[in-house]
Structure 1
Amino acid sequence: MEVHELKSKQWFTPVRFSHLTKHAGVGAVVRDQNDLLIFVKDTSTWPLKYLTKLHAVERVKRHLEITSDLMLPPQASIDGDSNLKIKGGTIPTLRFPNWTRCDNCNVLYFKPWANTNADISQKITCSSCSKGSLSQVTWCAVSSHGDLMDVPWHYICHRKSNTAAQQQCRHNTHEAYLKLELNERGRWEIHCKKCKATEQIDGTDFHHNTHKQPGLTERKPVGVDQITYTVMEVNDPRVFSAMSERALVIPPESNVDKESLVYKLMQQSQLVAAIKGAKRNLQKQREKKKAMRELKCTEEELFAALNEIDRDKSANNISFDDITSADMISDEFEALTTEQEFSSNADFITTHLTGEWQSYLQSIAESDGIRIESNLVDKLVAVNRLRVIEVYKGFQRAASDVDEFDPIPTVNPDFTGSIGWLPAVELFGEGIFFTLNHTCLEKWEEQALIRLRASEIETRYQDSEIALPDEATPTSRFILLHTIAHAFIRELETLAGYPAASLQERIYSSSEGKMAGILIYTAVPDIAGSLGGIVGQAKPSRFMRLLDAVFRQIEWCSMDPVCNDIEGQGPSWLNRAACHGCVLIPDTSCSYNNVFLDRVFIKGKPEEGIPPLREFVSK
């Protein structure tokens, strides 16, 4: 269990590892278990001695264009329920926003906890009315440069001052004279009790001449005199958008023996550093004995492992000089479609069921009710074990001055620029992988109306502000595969008992490389992975039932005929016949923003001359 730490009163909040690359990453404002809003501090403040370097990920780094080391976040546990002693390392946070509001009289206070000895879990009573309790305001100010700051309430309230008294009213954080409340029209307003100034705050912009992040010294901007900040609620999606990427660990790195002493030493880099950094023989002997105790090895075994690391010939040091980011999808596709032997502790284990699938199809060929689309599936593979590395590359914020022609910059997890690593998590799980017959797809792709329908979505994508991974190109093949993948996830929720939000997709699509594959998997931040519920669905008889349910689902939607006939829906109209009634899934499960979906590509639309996919499948 990972723990966020609120140091001012020593309050600790547990957070899932997988959340640290999403909504609870560096730069995010999250609500802790004590109902406080807290800001996750940058990686330069993380306790280095509790970080663990990820090994056997060189190909992943090449694929994701990363040169920095990848480090697992610190792990911690609570020792005892009463004294809150923490074992391990925690990620520092701080309370943000710093302003609070009385739930009775609406008066604002700045950092009221600084002048009280109350426990962090106790509410602070308003000193103005002596009735209400103080809670943090849910408003902040952000810029499209990634900045975040408290709303300057006094300035917002008085910036349109039109009387002498209002113009002379001075800012004083030690005095409770501002009120934040809803007006008769349900809009938020800030009022000054001293000079009677008032101003609405919804969507308010203002300028500031420095970059800001909570807890950091202000920085002067480069190239501009002023930065535009926008006032918005902390739960507005524009306040924080995590930038993270995933890649599978595939052979040969997935075959690294994690039980070997060399690998264990590489994971315990502080032990190696202590041994090599010892300047006196007595100190070196002490560090060696410590390593021998922790690793449960002899001195000879320790020496041999250290020498192997020094020679740089460990199994982890495989050369990937010719690997580029463009190879990621094709390399994963090759690993998934290639039969090979795996060790029992490998991070990537597949069982190829293509032969069993083809035999099963032949055995039921004469049966009534068998869908012809089942012949479309070429290869069937059970992915018994997989390891996914998810890297947190930073975050973005968006103010109202965002220029559609000027991309929003990404803020690195290290605000100070003083460290050379990125936070990452490793997820373990299982899945089903299958490919579609390339010959059938080529015949289908030749249809002019199908190409035209895909090109319309591609044009809309080029005119939109949406940015997706490079492999997500709205070709007819990708849209077809993506729609089928979504239907599979929705059906697996019923047949395998997994919530749709816990499933992930990976699309392998390329006409040139003859790729047409779908990987549906679940992965959790635990070495044990999942329980085999998805792999069990790869058994040919079960997969047939799943496939039949998928294609039946695609043919009909509760929103038809509207869903079927609509010209466009979803973000930037990048979907056609696809809605929440048929193939949309939770955003956390879709790698492509829930766009590039269209059921017509599978079921056809005869009234417009678009044939169904089944017409191109060999019997």
Structure 2
Amino acid sequence: MTRVRVGELRPNQLLHTFGVGATVDLPNLSVIVLGLDEWQHTGVDDISEDRLLAAVRKICGAQVKALRKPPYQPEVPGDPFGPWASVGVPVGLFPRWLRCPNPKCNVLAPVESQLFRLVPDPYRPERVRYVHDCAGSGNRRPTALPARFLLACRHGHLDDFPWMEFAHRGRHPGPGHALRMVERGTTGEAANLFVNCTECQASRSMAEAFGPAAERALPACRGRHPHLGEFEPCEEEARTLILGATNSWFPYLVTVFHIPRSQEALDQVVAEHWAQLQLLAGMERGMALQVLRNFDRAWQDLRTYPEDDIWDAILRRATQQPEGEDEEVLQIHEPEWREFTSRHPRQGRDFQVVTEPVPRSAADWLAEVRLAERLREVSALVGFTRIDAPEWGAVPVREQRRARLARGPVTWVPCAEVRGEGIFLRLAEDRVAEWEERPEVKRRRDQLLAAHRAWRRQRLLNPDDPMPPMRYLLLHSLAHVLIRELALESGYSASGIRERIYARQPGPDGEPMAGILLYTAAPDSEGTLGGLVGMGRRDRLGPLIEQALDAARLCSSDPLCAEHDPADNAQLYGAACHACLFAAETSCERGNHYLDRALVVDTLATSGIGFFAG
């Protein structure tokens, strides 16, 4: 099998944009990221994050042993054939059908037809391409382009478009027939694209691959997973996608914040590198410390400490119960809430929280403000979907149509980490509890609950599964209101500010929660530069909240937005739309579900429901 380096991606792109099973549109090629069975372990760093590992095991199974960053080795300039060049994420050509752009040729054929030849370039990987010898020579040969259309289904399957069968209206004509793709117009619309057979003159417009006509023109889904190289039974309807369409791949991620396990700095460093250091716990002290010097990253952080203290810290960590095995910790939000609300939060290299006085204008409803000057967020990819994005939190994980990352049970999952800053706001529990008991709020809850049940029935899910508590909808809506105002005032883009909602009613599950964390993060080592934390200072936070609430009272889509009935079309939101509350997918933890501006402020259509009404 030919191995050619074809480009590069950032580690975070391999989780959020171009992960396992996603197509990557390179300058001259289109490739698909292969399954974890094909990934190599050279140049891979493990991440020690017990809580994240425990959450991943709940979804993928107890056989998952590790969280790993994508393989990487620094480039050696001037040495394109060195060991570093063979380290990376494996990809395969997809789609397999290519088209010659020469207007006198326009041949459309699979790469197995031998009509196209691969031209590698070890010095400029982005220039790797397939060429067609229909005209010219050398660099004048036309670069073959990937076919623009694919087939996909809701179960995560992806396939080449059935060009030969489509052109011949459902039958395969056999050998000797060749195809051309001809464009009869300048708009690039599907109606102007025709697939022609050069042998029997069969012809068909690509417009028939979309809409109602597609039901008669397209075959059933074959259940193909090109990233795994296998097929599986599938009865789902296949539909045509444009190559590079955003709905061809949606990641399913599990995310946690790093919480220090100890106040001691040395114990924190040992916990961070435990994936490597756990190998030393069963060795004799002298040999273990000698081996430790070969662990470059761990030794870099530990070498300033006395050897006796390092050895004692390793033994202490080895005798502790892994945090991820504690059932309480499987609730991802619980340890984070406990640390954000602690009187003396544990501080660490990647977790630094300070208390800020509450603005006077918000003293009657805001109980606490914490500024997170440093945060580390770790995300793990546990699957992906096509056609429809994952229903973040609206559908249990077990019911999601997640495509697999490997042919068998995964023993590790790819991860990425980012560092940043944030603002944590805790609402007064007595005010929230009093608001939940208002008759107006209970009537609004009945409306939203009816829509919640209808939405689940439409998707053949259990309609009696509980809806999030009303305090969650309040906090979620308030978070979106503040994100919009922070984007205007802080200089960050709205898509770069994320939310974390902590909502739980009093009960046997634990103490009540009513708080939000708004944060931003970047993949470099230092994270962001304090702009968001600056907005959380007492003198700036108070006016910012007032401006945000004032802006939320009126939407440019009112009165349609304010009068929206969530039961219409069974939608999981009330008074909310793109003009007022909806946020980017990177910002919202629920995919813009469970939002309602009427729960926050008075609107044109409601009065007395909002937490800040009047």
Shorter-chain TM-score range: 0.7 to 0.9
* Equivalent in 382, 398, 406 of residue 414 of structure 1: 406
Partner of 1:541: 539
Q: 1:395 to 1:446 in 2, by over 3 A?
A: same
Q: 1:318 to 1:408 in 2, by over 3 A?
A: closer
Superposition map of 1:61-140 within 5 A: 61-64=53-56, 65=58, 67=62, 68=64, 69-80=66-77, 83=80, 87=84, 89-103=87-101, 104=103, 105-111=105-111, 115-117=117-119, 119=121, 121=127, 126-127=132-133, 133-140=143-150
Q: 1:548 to 1:472 in 2, by over 3 A?
A: farther
State the Cα distance separating 1:481 from its structure 2 match: 1.2
* Equivalent in 173, 197, 201 of residue 196 of structure 1: 201
> Are the counterparts in 1 of residues 119 and 131 from structure 2 also a CA contact under 8 Å?
no
Partner of 1:389: 378
Q: Which segment drifts farther, 453-462 or 534-543? A: 453-462
> Are the counterparts in 1 of residues 196 and 203 from structure 2 also a CA contact under 8 Å?
yes
Deviations along 1:100-125, one digit per CA (max 9) or x if unpaired, are 22332543032268535465727666
Aligned partners of 1:488, 1:258: CA distance in 2, in Å? 37
Partner of 2:29: 36
Aligned partners of 2:115, 2:266: CA distance in 1, in Å? 51
Question: SS where residue 386 of structure 1 aligns?
Answer: strand
Question: SS where residue 141 of structure 1 aligns?
Answer: strand
Question: SS where residue 338 of structure 2 aligns?
Answer: helix
Deviations along 1:251-270, one digit per CA (max 9) or x if unpaired, are 4269663785x558645469
Aligned partners of 2:561, 2:448: CA distance in 1, in Å? 16
AA matched with 2:422 = G
Q: 1:86 to 1:176 in 2, by over 3 A?
A: farther
* Equivalent in 39, 42, 50 of residue 49 of structure 1: 42
Superposition map of 1:354-503 within 5 A: 356-357=357-358, 361=360, 375-398=364-387, 407=399, 409-417=401-409, 419-464=410-455, 473-503=467-497
Gaps of 5+ in 1: 1-5, 162-166, 362-370
Superposition map of 1:519-538 within 5 A: 519-538=517-536
Q: 1:118 to 1:456 in 2, by over 3 A?
A: same
Question: SS where residue 52 of structure 1 aligns?
Answer: coil
Q: 1:82 to 1:349 in 2, by over 3 A?
A: same
State the Cα distance separating 1:332 from its structure 2 match: 2.0
AA matched with 1:92 = P
Partner of 1:10: 5
> Are the counterparts in 1 of residues 29 and 128 from structure 2 also a CA contact under 8 Å?
no
> Are the counterparts in 2 of residues 585 and 594 from structure 1 also a CA contact under 8 Å?
yes
Q: 1:71 to 1:444 in 2, by over 3 A?
A: same
The answer to whether structure 1 residue 241 and structure 2 residue 250 are counterparts is: yes
State the Cα distance separating 1:445 from its structure 2 match: 2.0
> Are the counterparts in 1 of residues 355 and 371 from structure 2 also a CA contact under 8 Å?
yes
Q: 1:557 to 1:285 in 2, by over 3 A?
A: closer
Aligned partners of 1:288, 1:352: CA distance in 2, in Å? 38
AA matched with 1:107 = V
Deviations along 1:240-294, one digit per CA (max 9) or x if unpaired, are 221111122224269663785x558645469869x979xxx9x999967756999
State the Cα distance separating 1:436 from its structure 2 match: 1.6
Partner of 2:391: none
TM-score when scaled to structure 1?
Answer: 0.79
State the Cα distance separating 1:390 from its structure 2 match: 0.9
Aligned partners of 1:253, 1:526: CA distance in 2, in Å? 25
State the Cα distance separating 1:317 from its structure 2 match: 5.1
Partner of 2:501: 507
> Are the counterparts in 2 of residues 243 and 393 from structure 1 also a CA contact under 8 Å?
yes
Aligned pairs, number = 566
Over the matched positions of the two proteins, sequence identity in percent amounts to 23
Q: 1:317 to 1:425 in 2, by over 3 A?
A: farther
Aligned partners of 2:96, 2:298: CA distance in 1, in Å? 44
Aligned partners of 1:220, 1:611: CA distance in 2, in Å? 50
* Equivalent in 556, 559, 579 of residue 558 of structure 1: 556
> Are the counterparts in 1 of residues 423 and 536 from structure 2 also a CA contact under 8 Å?
yes
The answer to whether structure 1 residue 23 and structure 2 residue 11 are counterparts is: no
Aligned partners of 1:293, 1:604: CA distance in 2, in Å? 54
Superposition map of 1:592-607 within 5 A: 592-605=590-603
Q: 1:73 to 1:455 in 2, by over 3 A?
A: farther
Question: SS where residue 514 of structure 2 aligns?
Answer: strand
The answer to whether structure 1 residue 347 and structure 2 residue 337 are counterparts is: no
| Cα root mean square deviation, aligned | 4.2
Deviations along 1:82-108, one digit per CA (max 9) or x if unpaired, are 847573831111221121223325430
Partner of 1:60: 52
Q: 1:288 to 1:528 in 2, by over 3 A?
A: closer
Question: SS where residue 12 of structure 2 aligns?
Answer: helix
